[in-house]
Structure 1
Amino acid sequence: MSRSTPAARVTAEAPRAFPTQSWIDVAVIGVLSLLGILGLETSFGDYNFLLAGLGGLLVGTAVAIIGFRLRLGVLTAVLAGILAYFLLGTPFTMPAQGLLVVLPSLESTAGLALGAVFGWADIVTLGTPVEAPYYMPVLPYFAAWLVALVSTMLASRWLPGRRRTVWRTSLLLIGPVLLYLAGILMGTDEAYYAALRGVAFAVIALVWIGWRRSGSGLAAASAASIGGAADAPRVDRVGSGRLLRRKLLGTVTLVVGAVLVGSLAGAALTPPPDNRFVLRDEIEPPFDPLQFASPLAGFRMYTKTLADTPLFTVEGLEAGDLLRLASMDSYDGKLWNVAGSSGSSGPGGSGSFRLVGRTIPEPVLATSVQNAEVTLTATGYDDVWLPGIGYPHTVDFDDADSRALAENLRYNASSGTAVFTSGVQPGYEYTIDAELQQTYRDEDLEGVPVAQLTLPTVQNIPDVVVAKADEYVGTTETPIDQLRAIEQALKTQGFLSHGLASDGAPSRAGHGADRIDELFTRSQMLGDQEQYASAMALMARSLNYPARVVMGFAPEVPEGSASVEVTGTNVTAWVEVAFEGIGWIPFFPTPDQTDVPQDQTPKPKTEPQPQVRQPPRADNEADDLLTAVEIDDSTEDEQDQGFELPAWAWAVIFGAGIPLLAFFGPLLVIAALKARRRRRRRTLGAGDRRVAGAWEELTDGYGELGFEVPARLSRRQIAEQLDAQSAAQPAGTRTALLDPPAAPTAGPPNIGLSALARSVDRAVFNGQAVDDAAVTRHWTEALASLAAVRASAGWARRLVARFRIRSTRSPRTGRPNRRGKA
């Protein structure tokens, strides 16, 4: 075979061209993927997710195209895509966490990993709009990156070498279709332009499959209609023009039909929002309030144990403002409690807590009168229930400790109650911007019915409660009049007592059925907010009114004071009843009177009893009552103390370990595979086979460095091709092997590739046994030649070569050459 001309030489540096048809495929895949990503708009609320999705499409597509042009293997291209995912993802997803916005930091690198793994579970349990955790935009970025990388690699590496049938082309639609379904399942009841996006997706996909079904047919028709018979010898100009017109007419008919059928079918078959199937409605939120004790059960702890303990300070509070702690609408005869996450059957239920970000969802039923902004700083408060005011719009954590745990905030929009699952700790500071429920006069509520809400059923209501409710209501008819009658009766007929030593009469704690029964059956009603609020709520529920008990704080705000300190004595409880179109109206049934009338019933006189002399006590009786006890002087902290890494060390390990593992992990795996390949070639088989293995190792090394190693050629022809490619490199980069020095150098001899190829052929084909010395000599020469060409290559080519692993192909068959013969 003659030596190749310089014009036909393919240098190792020249990238191969991306297939022309694949550009169209990549563009269609990108448009369809974008239509699928848009379905997440209802979950995120704004368009920050769209920037992340576009970034994922760009990164995944660019890596796949560059990998094809640089002739990277599939494994190497995937590893390069993973590296680009971490290096380029910060500005698209978490610019606030990046270094100078665009550079990855430890926090953003960790977020890119966490979002790809945990974002799928978080998005279906988060309250919308999704703003926390901070890594949530990683979800559309990761999904778009994965679809773009895989689809572009299929379009450029797999499809061009095969006949374009419908099913082969349709395989490229799997990724965009999965993105579209994810936008539906992870969205909300309100779809984002469902009909328009669905019709556009179907039209683009069908037209693309139809026109790209056969790459040759359309190209021939177009060429014949434009260039004449000379350009398309098998298709006459008239026939090709007719074929092109029929294709255009069919396309227009398909588009018009799809739009009409899609619009009509979408209008008729699209389910109403209440019947849409979305995962967030099927998956139970992870927070269950029943894991914690009822807030109302600890009411007396505030009035007794924490009476003088500063719980938190509040700035921005005005006179008359109430701080809400928890709203309870479930009663089982023992406790008023927040309904469990599985027992909150209606929109007004109190048990459905969703993870939220800085922005809080709008309340289900409320009429706002004004906005209020308060800042709370915890001092002695350490519970999971987060004190707040009104119905918050935003919650901003101001100190570093609470800001780091902001993703633990859960909120119930219907009850206006928030919880901090990790617990509010002393020192936490947060600012709430909220809207306050408008107050109404009784005259304004005369003709207003109560709201039709489905609340958890109350159980074990004492009969005396039902009877007293009927007695207090009397002849009143409207809901507001009946509720005011109950409130007024409890307020005027009862007396206030917290059960303290300073109170005039004892008052038992609790609000179970027995305690509420005792409240009405004693000669005087006696209790505090815990009992009176519980009793009124049970009376309202016995009349089928949607009522709940609210526990919170009512601090006294001095005039002109910028902040107020809240202590346990400020704890209170009240009742709220929902009115249609109005909201939850508060009622305060606890009396102000504390002077309880003394019972005038004379106490029985006691008669003295005769004294009886007791026997003397045994001397050893006191000793028998004593038991030796071993006292452990070590503290709990000393017993639990162990070696723990600081938080910054974990951040460094986690943040830097991911990109280092993504880079060096595959590098070590590929190096191990190459070492195993070299060892098998050098040690297994007869001598001629091991000599052939030296040539295979040499050509694989050239291929990994980016040289074009031709197939179906003899060793001598391959050597000539590689010599030609090396000769075409710029001056100064030729290897010592191709341009040997004038003076001999120490070490193993360097010979040209052609001479090495002839030597290998002689050893393989002469029919004589090849001894170990000849095997060692051929391997030494092959490795020396490969080391020389590596040394002349640039550092970038050497780095890429480390991530590539090439398998020698037989020159005649293209299959692995297991016999080592050319």
Structure 2
Amino acid sequence: MSVRTVVDLGVLTLLCLLGVLGFETSFGEYDFLLAGLGGLLVGTGVVLAANALRLGLVVTVLAGIVGYFLLGTLFAMPGEGILAVLPSLRSLAGLAIGAVHGWADIVTLAAPVEAPYYMPVLPYVSTWLVALVGTLLVTRWLPRRPRTVWRSGVLLVGPIALYVVGILLGTDEAYLAAVRGISFAVVALVWLGWRSSGAERADAAGSARLLRGKLVGTAVVVVGAALVGALVGAAVAPPSSSRFVLRDEIEPPFDPLQFPSPLAGFRKYTKDLVDTTLFTVSGLQPGESIRMASMDSYDGKLWNVAGPEEAASGAAGFSLIGRTVPPPPLLTPSSMTEATVEIEKYSDVWLPFSGYPSRIDFQDGESRALAETVRYRPDSGTGVLTGGLESGFRFNVLSVQQASVSDDALADVPVAEIAQPSVQDLPDIVVAKAVEFSGEAETPIAKLRAIEQRLKTQGFLSHGLASDAVPSRAGHGADRMIELFTRTQMVGDQEQYASAMALMARDLGYPARVVMGFAPDIPDGGGTVGVVGDDVTAWVEIAFLGVGWVPFYPTPDQTDVPQDLTPKPKTEPQPQVRQPPRTDNRSDELLTAVETDDSDKDDRKPPFAIPGWVWAVTGIVGIPLLLLGVPLLAIAALKKRRRARRRGRGSGDRRVAGAWDELTDGYAELGFEVPRGRTRRQVALSLEGQLHEQGVGDSAPLHTDTGPVRAVEGSAAPGTAIRLVPIAAEIDAAVFGGDEVADESVSERWNEVEESLGIARRSAGRTRRMIARFRIRSQRDWRSVNVALPGRSGSAASAGMGTPADAAG
């Protein structure tokens, strides 16, 4: 490798390290640096080894992928490997999963990110990819082409992307933002400045002047970057709270398990809020109830709404909704109900609906601002406002009611096949009672009605109040279900009976869920009704194929429990049941009211706030397009104006000289080296030599002064011989002939120039042609610094290249 290649690889590595340091705010420790350094070593080392073995591009890339998996365990997950070095199945899976899913995980997990185990793969795969592509460009692409600033700038794309990714995946607290930013800018700019190859063709005096200029320029860049970063950066840098990071804009999947089970707080309403008006509702018809939450997951302690892991296994999950609510997948609609709900003392997170909502309209501006955070699960008809409902919230709900279907119509209808979370720690007594209560019934509806009637007629209702005839313990875990069925009489309220019937139905293989809500007394004609805590209720719903979720109400109405039948406490041994270990961090106090966000209302998002992802897409896509598009359009307009001025302004000889300026500028923009301070014939010979070396146009030998004076021989198709010496001779004759140049001659010279440039552009390839379209004399301007001959007069330069004014364009 040459010294220049070693320097390029060193700069690439240093910039990647500055970029990967941005991951520090996400990981909190410096362990991720091992993975980042490992990715640099693997990506760079594989390409250098492939170059030594003279492997092709495809084989090199495949070798890079193999190296990624073979060495990734050592750098990213040593604890998962065999002897911390050799890859295992778990570490190989982590290297694949982390590269694909780790980007979503890191912005949805709280920092510092410590789990899942594959998270260190992110810095490893990032640096590996940048190093692999960058080393290929340094060793195989740059040496084969003229060294220009834009080609060197291609190497900066990877490190810049890595730097930006570290910012977006980080937190509000930046990690050494000023130091890293200034260092990155200084290294990149200085390297680009020294990357120029102009000094190789300059004489001793020109090389000395260029060296002094570069040293001065380097010092100016370093000092200027430090001053700008320290002074201006401190003044315009946004505060931490205003930093844009993806974890603040992308919300993790909603987990209902972060809130207490709605059914666990049942006794709160019957004891503490019995006469308290929770909310008012208008528009309901007699017999309609209000559903609050549907629970289909039972873990032996609680009925709860299925979490994201259980939802991924088949049940539908919660998602953000707008004004229009998606319909449930299983429903037989009957009537539409339009109700208005106004919150008073209700402070839970579960939205009260009548039926299955199809449209939700929040009335006031404050509640409309929070409507963007409403999440809804269509199959269960459950909505949640994560910030909690507050007094004064008002919204309209247009709902669809499930049609009431008779038992005779359901006699031959099977239950629906719906994926639900499995029931855990189901007591044996519940299984026995399911068989006993269903009796000899054969159809699902007959068995369910038999269970419902046995619970309703043989049990007694008690909320555990002091006024109740017998005590009734709260809860619906496995121990409470055992107590319900082993006492002399079944005693409980909707919480226990709905839980018991749902568990028995699940044991029989029927899709069942517990629904908690309210059943206020609706007067004839509707009107506004205040819903109080005493209106709380719970029931069971079973899904029937093609029909929908049919409700069952197993709670008895009888409250007078015979005293002589009430057992004495602890006089008989109770069957033992193994309880599941408590692995959650939820509070043991199940009756505690759900805490809501009491933060200042002024901190909430204003109405009609533009979602964060819109700003993210606009910033990532729109700003780069704007930064690139505007300069490119401006360059194209300037070049068009330059060409029109050269062709249409001045005398004939001046316009002919302008054609030569257009030719030299056009070839310089295509990447050819156009020497300055030479005669037109010398410039033409130099360009023809470069055309021949690069295979642009015909590969015929260089043109001599003999032969027809014609710019192009044959057709204008790619591969046609390009002859520039005749063009130079004709332009010299027109400029120095002393005669007035006719307009026809000017047009002919311009046509020859345009024909020559057209062939060169088509033969140079699509990439060079596109770049030349938005480029202004890059090679020509560099040559003007390095190759001007000492002592050459302005007249001589003018004789070779046209007037100074024309050359300036």
**TM-score scaled by length of structure 2:** 0.43
Q: TM-score, normalised by structure 1?
A: 0.43
Q: Which has the higher contact order (CA 8 A, sep 6+)?
A: 1
